[in-house]
């Protein structure tokens, strides 16, 4: 019995460490346009690269509009980065393009060609040809003031290819 307990604890520790390492590798391997809202980035260039990536990998694109000033954007990032199933589902099924909207850069030219933003973070989901299939904030994915893994997963399932 004692040996089984030691074996179980060892396997659990190794597995937990491997998952954490895998998560770190995945975050590091994401394109820069998927990692942060950066007022210096060109969303047209990044958007073309995201669409190219989406075509090659047969995924849709999530255009996430927000900024470092947006508290709900930080809540969303924290939720995604600490919920492995959602993180995996999002990045396996979508190419994420973060577009900055802030006093430093409102990205008016890029955002002016898209449907009106209704709140932040705002998500546009496009086919890999750039056609918009969804536009809206994601407040409906909250439950008791927090993002719901169940609601979020259903949403991602609905909009993935």
Burial of 72 (0-12, 13-18, 19+ CB in 10 A): middle
pLDDT at 64: 99
Query: Tokens standing for 133?
Result: 């299939």
Are the C-beta atoms of 17 and 9 separated by less than 8 Å?
A: no
Tell me: pLDDT of 126 over 60. yes
Instruction: Please give the backbone phi and psi of residue 17, each rounded to the nearest 5 degrees, phi first.
Output: -65, -45
Are the C-beta atoms of 70 and 100 separated by less than 8 Å?
A: no
Q: Which residues of 88-106 are buried (b: 16+ CB within 10 A; e: fewer)?
A: ebbbebbbbbbbbbeeebe
Q: Report pLDDT digits (tens) over 3-43.
A: 544 544 544 444 455 445 434 436 668 999 999 999 999 99
Q: Report pLDDT digits (tens) over 69-117.
A: 999 999 999 999 999 999 999 999 999 999 999 999 999 999 999 999 9
pLDDT at 29: 87
Tell me: pLDDT of 136 over 70. yes
State the Cα angle at 33 between 17 and 55, rounded to 5°: 95
Sign (positive or negative) of CA dihedral 135, 141, 147, 153: negative
pLDDT at 11: 44
Tell me: pLDDT of 51 over 90. yes
User: What Rg, from alpha-carbon coordinates, does the chain have?
Assistant: 18
pLDDT at 17: 52
């Amino acid at each position: 019995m004692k040996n089984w307990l030691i074996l179980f604890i060892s396997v659990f520790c190794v597995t937990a460490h491997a998952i954490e390492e895998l998560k770190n590798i995945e975050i590091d391997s994401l394109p820069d346009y998927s990692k942060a809202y950066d007022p210096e980035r060109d969303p047209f260039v990044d958007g073309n690269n995201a669409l190219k990536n989406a075509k090659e990998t047969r995924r849709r694109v999530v255009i996430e509009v927000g900024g470092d000033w947006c508290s709900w954007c930080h809540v969303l990032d924290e939720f995604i980065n600490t919920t492995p199933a959602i993180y995996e589902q999002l990045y396996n099924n979508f190419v994420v393009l973060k577009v900055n909207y802030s006093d430093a850069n409102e990205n008016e030219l890029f955002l002016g060609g898209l449907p009106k933003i209704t709140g932040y973070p705002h998500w546009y989901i496009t086919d890999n040809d750039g056609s918009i299939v969804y536009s809206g904030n994601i407040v409906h994915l909250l439950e008791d003031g927090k993002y719901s893994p169940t609601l979020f997963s259903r949403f991602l399932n609905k909009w993935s290819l």
